Structures are given as C-alpha cells and as structure tokens.
Amino acid sequence: MQSVEALQQTFSVEGVRFYRQDGLVMVEVRNAAANALLTTHGASVLSFTPLSEATSQQDWFWVSESAVYSGEKPVRGGIPVCWPWFGQADKPGLPAHGFVRNQVWELASVSAVSPTQTELVLTTASSPDTLALWPHAFELQLTVTIGESLALSLTTHNLSDQPVDITEALHTYFSVSNAPEVVVDGLQGSECFDKLTYAESYFQTAPLKIQPPIDSVFIDQMEPVMIRDPGYNRCIRIEKESAVSSVVWNPGPEIIKGFADMNDQAWPKMLCVEAGNVLQNAVTVPPNAEHAFRMVLTEQSYVAELSD
C-alpha cells in the first residue's frame, strides 16, 4: 500500500490532499469547479460536490453512516467498481460483484489539467490472489476526471493469450431527497429484467417512478439517463460510452435490514443507478487487447429539465 507521506511527496498537486481514515488512504480533491473525495481502496469515488451557482451545490453521492473503513470490505456507497463480474459469480464462494472493489489500487498519476479540472489515474493488476479467483492475467485502469462534470473511464487490458468474458459496472449510489418521489428517465425502449421477481422480461415504455424495493437491469440501453429529484431540485444526467446496460437498485425498508453496513432507515435517501455491461451485454476482450467504457455525470436544474 502506498503511504500517505509517499503519495503527498510523489503527487504534490495544488488542491490534492492525502490522509488516512481508519485503514484506508483517502484522496481529497478541491479545484475551482468541484470538491471530491476518493479512496484507493477499491478506487471508489465517495463524494462529489459541484461548486457552480447553477447547481444545487450538494453532494451527488450517498455513503452509509455505517460504512466500514477498516479495509475488510468495500465502503458502502459512492461508486464501487464491479469487475470482472457483476452480481453473483458463476462459481459458489466467490465475492459478489467481483474482487477489485475490495482491493487497494495504486495511484499512478494526479494532474491539474486546468484550474477547474483534476485528473487521477488508478490501477490494479492480476496477482496470485486474483488468479486463484479468476484465472486470467489483466491490468485494470480507472481514470477519474473531476471538474464541472465527473467522468470515470474503466479500461480492461487482457494480458492473457485467450479471450476473456467480463461483466462490469460502476455501481453509483446517488444521494436523493426521497426515493419514492424520484423518477429515472431515459430507460424507455430498453429490455428490463426484474432481479427481485425473475418474472418475464419486458420493455420499459415510460419514465421509471421509483417504488422500492427495486432491482432492475436494463439491457441494450444507450440513451442518456436522467435522475429527476424534485426534493433536491436537481437532475443528474448519466451519459455512457461503450456501455449498454443500466441497473436501478434500492433495497426498500425490508431488504435493507440484511445489510450490516446500512442503517435500516437509510433507504429513502439513496438510489443506485449503475452504468456498465451486464447480463446479455457481457463483453469479450480479445487476447492482448483492451476494452474501455466511460460514464459522465452532470447536474442540471430540475425546473429547467421539466421545461425542455
């Protein structure tokens, strides 16, 4: 693990500070456009607050008050990286959503692109421990660009001489005013799989009004997705490149009781809207080749969105 002292010496960039919280290394980023917080544990973005007066100037992301910072498990909230599989693994005994969200990543570079933009690159790679879980050599890179918008690009390098199949997602936990009053728009026309009922799939025909519990996967979904939140008077727009799946999850008042790192009363204040390639949208990465997908988040006012 890179020490806080070594990181501060190596990456002496204005507006970037490193500190330790319990067992985790935290990276605080402040520039003229936004404030953000990341941890090298899982390469998770935990906070992003835009500073423009045209925005709500509120944190976009939810992190559980009961989140664990010891390094024993991923931090509950923010943007966990799910890779090389999403959901449950094909083999029993393997961790849900892959293993990289619970690994310590290396911080490879930090740069102040401009007064309003800071870019960080984090990497992780195959090791004897990962090969025991998933027998493929790889390098994974996450590029995080913090500015007026927030962009994350996840690049898979297949270092083996065989093609590999992956599913992947950026499992974003958004902070919302009250989940049952939130509408997710842009999913229309995509095929929906309900992971709670496993009923026959159907095509989404209207904006999705959140009725927890919900655990729905939308495949072949390429249009921008909007999270419309009247209580916070904001709309967060999710744009994707080379990612054709969206997942919407909220555990509701009963399922949340099964999560030790989530308070029972927290479910109305969070909503996961995830970007990636899952289920039938799995990606095959050829030998010695790479695949990348990108997610860009921006904020618009709720009133302005309704008047479009």
Give the tens place of pLDDT for each residue, 268-290: 999 999 999 999 999 999 999 99
Residue 308 banded pLDDT, cuts 50, 70, 90: very low
Residue 1 banded pLDDT, cuts 50, 70, 90: confident
Spatial distance between the Cα atoms of 114 and 225, rounded to a whole number of angstroms: 28
pLDDT for 292: 99
Residue 217 has pLDDT above 60, yes or no: yes
DSSP 8-state code for residue 197: T
pLDDT per position as a tens digit, 56-68: 999 999 999 999 9
pLDDT per position as a tens digit, 164-191: 999 999 999 999 999 999 999 999 999 9
Spatial distance between the Cα atoms of 146 and 286, rounded to a whole number of angstroms: 31
CB 141 within 8 A of CB 123: yes
What is the phi/psi pair of residue 102, to 5°? -115, 20
Q: Percent of the chain, pLDDT > 70?
A: 98
Kindly list the distances between the CA atom of residue 105 and the CA atoms of 144, 200, 258, in Å, as whole numbers in the listed order. Answer: 13, 39, 28
Residue in the block written with tokens 């660009």 = 145
pLDDT per position as a tens digit, 112-135: 999 999 999 999 999 999 999 999
pLDDT per position as a tens digit, 33-63: 999 999 999 999 999 999 999 999 999 999 9
DSSP string for 121-188? EEEEE--HHHHHHS---EEEEEEEEESSSEEEEEEEEE-SSS-EEE-EEE--EEE-S-GGG-EEES-T
DSSP string for 263-304? -TT-GGGEEEEEEEE-GGG-EEEPTT-EEEEEEEEEEEEHHH
CB 176 within 8 A of CB 60: no
Which are the contacts of 89, defined by CB distance < 8 A and separation ≥ 6?
95, 96, 98
Q: Is the link from the previous residue into 95 a cis peptide, with omega within 30 of 0?
A: no
Task: Give all strands (DSSP E) within 72-136, no chain letters.
Answer: 81-82, 106-114, 117-125
Q: Over the chain, what is the mean pLDDT? A: 97
What is the phi/psi pair of residue 201, to 5°? -65, 160
- Residue 255's SS3 state is helix
pLDDT per position as a tens digit, 67-116: 999 999 999 999 999 999 999 998 899 999 999 999 999 999 999 999 99
Give this prediction's pTM: 0.97
Domain 4-307 top-level CATH class: mainly beta
